[in-house]
Copies of this chain bind each other. A is one copy, B any other.
């Protein structure tokens, strides 16, 4: 069975959640990273876990459920790490990742990792994004102008984190952006990201030409006050880069990128996000909002991958990374998009070089354009690879990508596909302990401990249901074979007999083996099996 356990840190209030799976026999329990949060009443919201931690640092004036930044303070994890301090948040993630707290502090201080923790989102359980740590997964949710409701989005948040989403982005557009976001943040134990330009655009009736720095700035402050942990800002879409995207097969596919491009062209002025970037940094620093520097010129098709427009913007993001760091602000960098497999590594290498190791946060990438309705798979391939090469967080893609708004089933399909990609990347990176999970499951499989196998599965319910579809009755749960091969052909069963046989010495025992009937499989007949 799976249950939630807590590991206590240096003091009782610092308790780090894990999912513990008890196994049968004398097999030790397996502990897994757990993103599901403490569970909440949506009407009340979650308890402010980090409230006392934030208050104790004294750089934020406590208010109900969070704090108001004091003038001139930059209460960011980056600032603390540079000062050599291990914050409560750092200790929490160190326990969560099974690494020394000093590694967490040092990676943050170097800018190679971020802990997105707005002082006004005390409900969150700290998590870290960086190449030295477990690869993370983000799930996008949010209302659109055409469809979906606030309650549905909170439900999707809970659902996404149940299946393992490490952060959630609220990409709501339409009329109820503020209300939707409030409901999401107050109920979220994971960091919440947004793209503030979407709300800014609503404020000017959807006309990008009417946007201004002032409207954007006020929107950022509104969202920072509310507790948004990281914000996508398309400050790298510069006026001179826009012509580079004009002859693409799919032009500009980033919503934020196209909005900023429209503004730049209409005014024939440089991107106001770029021009006011230092002021923006000061705002984010006060709340410890993390930058997610958006790739507004990311490729939207295989044909457009790794082109001049994409890499021109990436160079600018490298420049802006240093500006943000100079202001004590945590930064990660967004990446593509649609990229064929042989061009994936170049993306990570160039990003790491230009952005001095700031965490990379990529959408997919999709490795082919031909499979709408299956882009969770086309992109899980690219996501696993880019994770192996060093991407720190993978933004999921659901089966509805390009086609419609994801529903509950799509959210689950996307998260599961991306947890697979992230874990495959952890294995390939040789992350300490990552393979323990695989080993425990494979051992259970080899020993026909079906219930253990189901309980260890990324999705226990579906694994159990698929098994039951062919061999539904209870005895099959203890059967030493499965429906794929039936009792006579079970290679695992044969090997188990071989193992016992080999243990007794191979040569001398061959006669005995034959004399005993030479049966290396269970003498269950097909008729027996069918009667199960």
Interface residues of A (CB under 8 A from B): 144-147, 173-175, 198, 201, 206-210, 242-243, 245-246, 249-255, 257-259, 261-262, 265-268, 300-303, 338, 340-342, 367-374, 376-378, 380-381, 384-385, 388, 399-405, 407, 416-417, 419-421, 423-425, 427-430, 435, 437-439, 441-443, 445-446, 453-454, 456-459, 462-463, 465-467, 469-471, 482-492, 494-499, 501-503, 506-507, 510, 513-514, 518-521, 526, 529-530
Contacts and interface: CB of A to CB of B under 8 A. Distances in A.
Q: Which 4 pairs show the lowest CB-CB distances between chains A and B? A: A251-B495, A145-B486, A404-B470, A209-B518
10 contacts: A173-B485, A251-B492, A302-B435, A341-B385, A341-B428, A367-B384, A367-B427, A373-B457, A373-B459, A405-B483
Nearest to A253: B491
Given A198-B489, A258-B491, A258-B495, A377 B173 contact: no
A497 B242 CA distance: 13
B427 A251 contact: no
Contact of A370 (B261, B367, B457): B457
Contact of A483 (B146, B252, B301, B488): B146
Contacts of A424: 340-341, 367-368, 378, 381
B458 A526 contact: no
Contact of A250 (B300, B445, B502): B445
Nearest to A252: B495
A333 to B, nearest CB: 20
A489 B266 contact: no
Contacts of A419: 371
Interface hub of A251, A259, A456 (most chain B Cβ within 10 A):
A251
A405 B491 contact: no
Given A250-B445, A400-B470, 11 more contacts: A201-B489, A207-B518, A262-B497, A262-B520, A303-B435, A303-B442, A368-B424, A369-B438, A373-B457, A402-B484, A405-B483
Contact of A372 (B368, B371, B453, B492): B453
Contacts of A484: 144, 400-405
A342 B144 CA distance: 40
Given A173-B486, A442-B301, A530-B146, A496 B251 contact: yes
Identify whether the interface residues of A are mostly helix, strand, loop, or mixed.
helix
A475 to B, nearest CB: 13
A251 B499 contact: yes
A460 to B, nearest CB: 9
A357 to B, nearest CB: 21
Contacts of A377: 376-377, 380, 416-417, 420
A428 to B, nearest CB: 4
A488 B209 contact: no
A44 to B, nearest CB: 31
Contacts of A446: 249-251, 300-301
A146 to B, nearest CB: 5
Contacts of A303: 435, 438-439, 442
Contacts of A491: 251-255, 257-259
A443 B341 CA distance: 21
A242 B502 contact: yes
A106 B488 CA distance: 44
A470 B144 CA distance: 11
A334 to B, nearest CB: 14
B144 A486 contact: yes
A297 to B, nearest CB: 10
Contact of A341 (B259, B384, B457, B466): B384
Contact of A466 (B400, B454, B469): B400
Given A385-B341, A424-B381, A456-B370, A145 B482 contact: no
Given A341-B424, A470-B404, A506-B243, A463 B373 contact: yes
Interface hub of A419, A441, A499 (most chain B Cβ within 10 A):
A441
Contacts of A442: 249-250, 300-303, 338, 369
Given A250-B492, A253-B495, A302 B427 contact: yes
Given A265-B510, A502-B243, A371 B416 contact: yes
B510 A174 contact: no
Given A208-B520, A484-B405, A458 B489 contact: no
Contacts of A340: 424, 427-428, 435
B301 A439 contact: yes
Contacts of A494: 208, 252, 258-259, 261-262
A268 B462 CA distance: 43
A61 to B, nearest CB: 37
Nearest to A417: B377
Interface hub of A255, A265, A490 (most chain B Cβ within 10 A):
A265
